Amino acid sequence: MPRTHRGSDRIGALGGVAFAALLFLSVFAAEPVRRATDQQLLAGWANSGLRRDLIVSMVLMLLAGPCFLVFLAPLRDRLRAADPGSPWTDLVHGAGVVFVATLAVTAASRGLIAQAVRFGGEPLPGPDTLRYATQFSDAAFGLAAIPFATLVVAAASLLSLRTGALARWVGWVGLGVTTLSLVSIALLIGPLATPLVALWVLAASAQLFRARETRVVPVEASPAPAHDRPQGALTQR
């Protein structure tokens, strides 16, 4: 019978807590200049403090990705132990990997210009390029990273409710997070779902941390009727 391991669950829980903290800080560490005239935009980017904050935001977001993978590994194992043949477990893992990849793209685009100016000695580009870089970073995060994170939350929550791999309240919280995240994505304000995703990861991490090393009963098909069993399985008189 499949078994979950307390040590790996706790490491995954710590990874989830680190991810939630790093992601939250990375998003709110810097606020790029938006909805400004060309002069205001150039003046804002000329501020060394803004460029520093964008670089810090990029580094924090890059660190958040590996932490999410540390969280994802025991979560996948726990879901798979509860339902070994389910393709939804592969969906959780695959969507999580794509989420981390799109998060890395978001991070790089968020701090690329600031890093080039601060450490590469490059001049500031024109206002059109600055606007494009900000819009690209916002789109990569709100229209790519957040949707895949939402897919992880939705699939893992449904599996947890069906199999009991995690506490039922974690599954219901995940469905609530999924609903609100989908609304924000549809309204093109996907980044506002960041605290919601972080909240679910913290909830799942709490369950992983508190879980004891125990056997997880997998979902099995009901036994076949007696008349459908192979003839050799019948007891001879």
Interval 124-142: pLDDT, tens: 999 999 999 999 999 999 9
| DSSP bridge pairs for 217 | none
Phi/psi at 124 (5° precision): -65, 135
| DSSP bridge pairs for 3 | 215
Q: Which helix (H) or strand (E) holds 159?
A: helix 146-163
**pLDDT at 212 (0 to 100):** 58
Please report which confidence band the pLDDT of residue 36 belongs to, taking 50, 70 and 90 as the band edges.
confident
**pLDDT at 233 (0 to 100):** 38
pLDDT > 60? residue 156: yes
**169-185 mean pLDDT:** 95
**pLDDT at 217 (0 to 100):** 47
pLDDT > 60? residue 203: yes
**pLDDT at 226 (0 to 100):** 47
**pLDDT at 123 (0 to 100):** 92
pLDDT > 80? residue 223: no
Residues 38 and 35: their CA atoms lie apart, in Å, by: 10
Q: What does pLDDT average to over the chain?
A: 87
**45-63 mean pLDDT:** 94
**pLDDT at 106 (0 to 100):** 95
**13-18 mean pLDDT:** 96
**pLDDT at 35 (0 to 100):** 84
* pLDDT tens, position by position, 84-120: 888 999 999 999 999 999 999 999 999 999 999 989 8
Burial 75-107 (b: 16+ CB within 10 A, else e): bbbbbbbbbeebebbebbbebbbbbbebbbebb
Percent above pLDDT 90 for the chain: 69
Percent above pLDDT 70 for the chain: 86
Tokens read off for 151: 């897919």
Please report which confidence band the pLDDT of residue 237 belongs to, taking 50, 70 and 90 as the band edges.
very low
pLDDT > 80? residue 42: yes
pTM score, whole prediction: 0.84
CA angle centred on 231, ends 228 and 234, rounded to 5°? 95
**26-38 mean pLDDT:** 88
Does residue 57 contact residue 27 with C-beta atoms inside 8 Å?
A: yes
